[in-house]
């Protein structure tokens, strides 16, 4: 039993100094003492060694903040939201459900505990190889139910850990308390939007957090399908004075994707990382360890040969990878050697924004009707699919070390309109001046007009491959 899992005989208040929220306090009561001891467990402390933004520090030198700091910030933000719920319910004579609130707060703290090294980049590798232990949701679920974390949670009741895991696993808010953990206006998003902007030094993409919180209310809205009400549910609602702050919130998220999360240099590094790890796993499974440059007992090799082991996943973090680079640079395998050297020296392939070229040439921005725009978008998607296949085939046929052309395709919605599968608790609602409550996308022409952020890029750093990319794009446009 670790010190963190033991009950504290005389708990005392604790505090954390945070660059975003300043002081985050933990009182000496049973619940927050449990939360503090969860923070001390090895699985949670591991988050200190996983950066929140992965390779973004190669672009923004200050972006070295961790999943550890973010997770504590999410708990703090969730607690602010929960206090609002408690005030509203008690003022209305209702019953504040302490157990549900504590479950949601605990879920806010541990929602990211299962992330692997470099977070989403590692998860992408797992998707390609269908490795369940590379899915952070699955690893989080296992850790919350069966690790030192569950040992600490047991003090809150035998089923507390399972309740916490269920809130996270569900992925959609089942009630007002759950909405604090998982919705389009949840504690996770409210923390990372501010934290990532602060740590990268970004000047745009800011949100008025204080004003949003000051104008946050709780109200009942009708639920149903196709305007036929079948009941109502309590949810967060922003007052009319926060209308423009709500618009800014959605617009800010939209701006963070091209400027931070999908930055071309960050994505190029992720592509090299993916090629490198996939090659290591391939050689390790073939038994060719001598080519890789790492010992059999190295955490990366242990994961490559036994990826279903929880211990092997937890042994991986960003520090382990960076520490392995000097050995990988001396690898006998050309692909591993080249990728490791380029990542270590930040020698990243250059980006060709293929989608940007196609949008301009196809004339998507000059569409004069919704129908024409839809037709042009379909044409754009067909062109991208065709180009991606041709570039990948050429690269496979003409590469020996690092693939000479790496392609990158992604899409992100800044705001998801109402989906029956997610329910009304997932939406951002505004109470208009006439007391009518509307989904923000139905009352804001600005948000209604925002389309998904999409990208399709090619990365290469030799002239022949660059010429191939432009030639394939031109041929596709001629064919259209």
Residue 224 has pLDDT above 70, yes or no: no
Whole-number Å distance between alpha carbons of 299 and 295: 9
Could you read off the pLDDT of 178-197 as tens digits, one per residue? Answer: 999 999 999 999 999 999 99
Q: Which residues fall within 8 angstroms of residue 450, CB to CB, at 6 or more apart?
A: 250, 251, 254, 414, 415
Q: What is the CATH number of domain 11-201?
A: 1.10.3210.10
pLDDT tens for 42-92 read 999 999 999 999 999 999 999 999 999 999 999 999 999 999 999 999 998
- The boundaries of every CATH 3.30.70.1370 domain in the chain are 351-479
Per-residue pLDDT tens over the stretch 407-466: 999 999 888 876 644 678 889 999 998 889 999 999 999 998 888 899 999 999 999 999
- Give per-residue pLDDT as tens, 313-367: 999 999 999 999 999 999 999 999 999 999 999 999 999 999 999 999 998 888 8
How does residue 368 score in pLDDT terms, banded at 50, 70 and 90? Answer: confident
Name the nearest CA neighbour of 269 among 344, 172, 218: 344
Using one digit for the tens of pLDDT, what is the confidence trace for 116-159? 999 999 999 999 999 999 999 999 999 999 999 999 999 999 99
User: For the segment 377-388, what is each residue's pLDDT rounded down to a tens digit?
Assistant: 999 999 999 999
* pLDDT confidence of residue 171: 79
The predicted model scores a pTM of 0.94
CATH class of the domain comprising 351-479: alpha beta
Residue 109 contacts residue 168 (beta carbons within 8 Å): no
Task: State the Cα angle at 59 between 55 and 62, rounded to 5°.
Answer: 85
Residues of the chain with CATH 1.10.3210.10: 11-201
CA-based nearest residue to 123, from 111, 109, 138, 108: 138
pLDDT of residue 421: 45
What strands, in cross-sheet order, belong to the sheet with 350-352? 350-352, 453-460, 406-412
Instruction: Could you list the beta-strand ranges (E) of 239-360.
Output: 350-352
Q: How far is CA 160 from CA 102, 107, 144, 282, in A?
A: 9, 10, 10, 40
């Amino acid at each position: 039993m670790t010190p963190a899992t033991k009950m504290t005989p005389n708990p005392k208040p604790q505090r954390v100094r945070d660059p975003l929220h300043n002081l985050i306090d933990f009182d000496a009561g049973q619940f927050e003492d449990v939360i503090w001891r969860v923070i001390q467990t090895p699985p949670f402390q591991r988050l200190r060694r996983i950066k929140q933004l992965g390779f973004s520090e190669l672009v923004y030198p200050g972006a070295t903040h961790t999943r550890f700091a973010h997770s504590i910030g999410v708990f703090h933000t969730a607690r602010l939201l929960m206090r609002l719920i408690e005030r509203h319910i008690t003022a209305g004579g209702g019953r504040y459900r302490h157990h549900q609130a504590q479950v949601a707060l605990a879920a806010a703290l541990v929602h990211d505990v299962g992330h692997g090294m470099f977070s989403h980049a590692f998860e992408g590798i797992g998707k390609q190889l269908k490795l369940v232990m590379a899915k952070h949701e699955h690893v989080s679920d296992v850790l919350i139910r069966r690790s030192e974390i569950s040992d600490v949670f047991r003090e809150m009741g035998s089923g507390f850990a399972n309740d916490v895991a269920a809130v996270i696993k569900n992925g959609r808010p089942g009630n007002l308390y759950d909405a604090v953990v998982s919705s389009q206006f949840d504690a996770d998003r409210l923390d990372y939007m501010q934290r990532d902007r602060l740590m990268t030094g970004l000047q745009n993409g800011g949100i008025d957090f204080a004003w949003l919180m000051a104008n946050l209310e709780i109200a009942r809205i009708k639920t149903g399908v196709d305007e036929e009400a079948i009941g109502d549910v309590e949810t967060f609602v922003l007052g009319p004075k926060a209308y423009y702050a709500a618009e800014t919130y959605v617009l800010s998220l939209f701006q963070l994707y091209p400027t931070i999360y999908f930055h071309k240099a960050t994505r190029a590094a992720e592509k090299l990382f993916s090629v490198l790890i996939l090659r290591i796993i391939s050689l390790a499974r073939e038994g060719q360890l001598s080519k890789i440059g790492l010992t059999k007992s190295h955490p990366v090799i242990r994961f490559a040969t036994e990826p279903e082991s929880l211990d092997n996943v937890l042994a991986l973090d960003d520090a382990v990878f960076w520490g392995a680079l000097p050995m990988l640079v001396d690898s006998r395998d050309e692909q591993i050697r080249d990728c490791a050297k380029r990542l270590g020296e930040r020698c990243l392939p250059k980006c060709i924004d293929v989608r940007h070229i196609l949008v301009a040439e196809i004339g998507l921005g000059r569409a004069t009707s919704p129908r024409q725009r839809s037709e042009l978008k379909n044409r754009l998607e067909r062109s991208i699919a065709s180009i991606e296949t041709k570039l990948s085939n050429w690269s496979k046929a003409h590469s020996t070390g690092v693939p000479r052309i790496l392609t990158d395709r992604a899409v992100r919605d800044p705001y998801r309109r109402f989906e029956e599968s997610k329910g009304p608790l997932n939406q951002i609602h505004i109470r208009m001046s006439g007391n009518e409550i509307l989904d923000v996308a139905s009352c804001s022409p600005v948000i209604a007009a925002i389309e998904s952020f999409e990208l399709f890029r090619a990365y290469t750093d030799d002239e022949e491959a660059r010429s191939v990319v432009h030639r394939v794009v031109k041929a596709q446009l001629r064919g259209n």
